[in-house]
Structure 1
Amino acid sequence: MSDSEAQINCHLVDLVDDAWRSDQLPKDEISVPVYELTDPEADSGDVHLTLIEQEQKWTDIMLTALSEHQ
């Protein structure tokens, strides 16, 4: 099979119909933890990052290790 050929999973055809595809949850019934939301006050270029992703970004560059060695 080459890259230009797509394989279609035939099992999903029976499960997904128009009614299932158009079904949506009401927005007021979806609870999202605060740390999973994007920062509403973000003024940097990373406005798409969630609060937890922003925290992990700082720990990825080992800034916490600086305070341990002083």
Structure 2
Amino acid sequence: MSTKEIIQGIRKLPFNERLLVIEKALKTLHESTDSQLERAAKALLSDYKKDKELTAFTALDYEKFYEAR
């Protein structure tokens, strides 16, 4: 089924069903994005544990910063 056919099918649905389709589509995007981020974090975990230069700025995590105007 092509994107054009899917869109045409969605247009035929009542409003509440259209909204449900959109919500479910967005949820799948969030899930795939979260999954990708999780895989990337796991892949880099050993690098961050071994290379202290990658985490050097975390020493500033509890510093108070003030906006200069």
**What's the TM-score bracket when you normalise by the shorter of the two chains?**
under 0.3
TM-score under structure 1 length normalisation: 0.24
- Report which structure shows greater RCO (CA 8 Å, sep ≥6): 1
Give the helix-richer structure, 1 or 2: 2
